[in-house]
Amino acid sequence: MIDDTAARAQVVGAADRLFYACGVQAVGMDAVRTEAGVSLKRIYRLFPSKDDLIVAVLERRREVWDAGIAATAERAATPREKLLAVFDFLDAWFREPDFRGCAFINFYGELSGGSEEVRRTVREQKEAFGAYVARLVDEAGAPASLAPQISILAEGAQTTAAIANTPDAAAHARAAAEALLADALD
Amino acid sequence: MIDDTAARAQVVGAADRLFYACGVQAVGMDAVRTEAGVSLKRIYRLFPSKDDLIVAVLERRREVWDAGIAATAERAATPREKLLAVFDFLDAWFREPDFRGCAFINFYGELSGGSEEVRRTVREQKEAFGAYVARLVDEAGAPASLAPQISILAEGAQTTAAIANTPDAAAHARAAAEALLADALD
DNA sequence: TACTCTAGAGAACGATCGTTCTCACCGCAA
DNA sequence: TTGCGGTGAGAACGATCGTTCTCTAGAGTA
């Protein structure tokens, strides 16, 4: 038998795959149990309700996102390049075969009529990303008003890529960000 | 008794309000029947399945969107102003008290794992909007590469406004579009 | 060996879903 | 008046949901 930490990771990973691919409400807890190989009883000991599991999935997504953004930024030298690297990160993500849009946006659209905790978790993630962009904009010496514009480009690229089903949106958004940065920096 | 045309409009209107406010899967057909004041039997004669009703809701949303965009554009003189008017239209929409994001994006995130017809309807709407923007960009004498950038700004503004729960995103996106247009037109 | 405790497998529960069916009732031709 | 086709109201159906309960088997301890 595996320990609770490993079981937790398996359950969250399985739920992430299923929820992201099929939508949250379309996936039953039985399907999570089968995919995770962890008994229902144990799932409910680790996560008292499905809502708790959804939040855990979003929190794991956030960690993966933050780590990916950080890794991409590390390969860039200047704040300006770190900002543009966000769009390279998106480009690589859009090309993954199972890309299906931003899970935060998808879950929010599906569940914001219900669980308050899901709403809050999604909002916190988007605020954190906005703050990250704002910090880089400041470090690049550009006016603060540029930050929400770049965040909106990143946001729009994600939904556009998901619906149009092509990765082109990343390049388009990057080009727009470059132009806005060039405008602001001279 | 009302005729089929009026009953259809009532059902689609009721379903639109409920689906948009609560999410599609969270709303049962019984709730639609109560809100619309039309019997289940008649609903199922007008719409053979819930999927058909969802598509009808999206088609009505598209008509309302197109009419709103057209009305806003009419008040603008030049292609450039018509492009920027899109963001004024968004601004007014974001300020409506029951604004909850773009229904197409929300439905897509919730249902794209399922109904193929919903996927197609959403994709068509976004393509049509992209084509509208592309036409205006062309008429404004700007390079075609600007069109997807402006579309992405509009898309991103919608999700950002929904999640952050403020209408500011419209003004930010408009400012970015203005800068990109100014860049492209000289 | 005998007892206790815990875990897993999955049946069971009540609620709710999309959809269909029943049935009393209406306007209208003969 | 009598019969009939179609209506609305809502009960009913089978499936599935999130969640809990039962039962069995095995590990650890005296």
- Chain A residues 98 to 137 whose Cβ lies within 7 Å of strand D are none
**Residue where the block lists tokens 């004669």:** B45
- Using CB atoms within 10 Å of the CB of residue A46, give its burial: 0 to 12 exposed, 13 to 18 middle, 19+ buried: middle
Cβ separation B110–A109 shorter than 8 A: yes
**Looking at the predicted structure, is the pLDDT value of residue B160 above 80?**
yes
**Residue where the block lists tokens 């579309």:** B151
Closest protein residue to C21 (Cα–C1'):
B41
* B88/chain A closest Cα distance in angstroms: 16
Cβ separation B149–A22 shorter than 8 A: no
* Chain A residues within 8 A of B126 when measuring between CB atoms: 160, 163-164
- Span B141-165, mean pLDDT? 97
Nucleic acid strand D within 7 Å of A22 CB = no
Cβ separation B152–A163 shorter than 8 A: no
Q: What is the pLDDT of residue B2?
A: 76
**Residue where the block lists tokens 């203005």:** B178
Q: Kindly indicate the confidence band of residue B4, based on its pLDDT and cuts at 50, 70 and 90.
A: confident
CB B16 within 8 Å of CB B57 = yes
Cα angle vertex B18, ends B36, A55, to 5°?
A: 160
Residue among B124, B130, B170 nearest B150 (CA)? B130
Give every residue of chain A whose pLDDT is below 50, as ranges.
Answer: none
- The proportion of chain B whose per-residue pLDDT surpasses 70, expressed as a percent, equals 99
CB-nearest to A109 from B106, B172, B183 is B106
Across chain B, mean pLDDT equals 95
Q: How far apart are CA B135 and CA B39, in angstroms?
A: 44
Q: Provide the 10 A C-beta neighbour count for residue A148.
A: 25
- Span B19-37, mean pLDDT? 94
Cβ separation B126–A175 shorter than 8 A: no
Q: How far apart are CA B34 and CA B8, in angstroms?
A: 14
Q: Kindly indicate the confidence band of residue B1, based on its pLDDT and cuts at 50, 70 and 90.
A: low
Exposure b/e, B12-31, CB count within 10 A at least 16 = b: bebbbbbbbebbbbbbeeee
Domain annotation for chain B: domains and CATH numbers: 1-48 (1.10.10), 55-185 (1.10.357.10)
* A184/chain B closest Cα distance in angstroms: 10
Q: Residues 103-122, chain A: which have Cβ within 8 Å of B?
A: 104-114, 122
pLDDT tens digits, one per residue of B29-88: 999 999 999 999 999 999 999 999 999 999 999 999 999 999 999 999 999 999 999 999
Residue among A90, A56, A87, A104 nearest A150 (CA)? A87
Q: What share of chain B is helix, strand, coil (3-state, %, to 5)?
A: 80, 0, 20
- Using CB atoms within 10 Å of the CB of residue A177, give its burial: 0 to 12 exposed, 13 to 18 middle, 19+ buried: buried
- Using CB atoms within 10 Å of the CB of residue B3, give its burial: 0 to 12 exposed, 13 to 18 middle, 19+ buried: exposed
Structure tokens at B147: 């069109």
* Chain B residues within 8 A of A151 when measuring between CB atoms: 156, 160
Instruction: For chain A, state the CA radius of gyration.
Output: 18
Q: Is A173 on the interface with B (CB under 8 A)?
A: yes
Q: What is the pLDDT of residue B126?
A: 97
* CA of B28: nucleotide with nearest C1': C17
Q: What is the pLDDT of residue A153?
A: 98
**Amino acid B57 CA to nucleotide D1 C1' distance, rounded Å:** 47
In single-letter form, the type of residue at position B151 comes to S
* B23/chain A closest Cα distance in angstroms: 6
Q: Provide the 10 A C-beta neighbour count for residue A28.
A: 11
**Which tops the pLDDT comparison, B112 or A107?**
A107
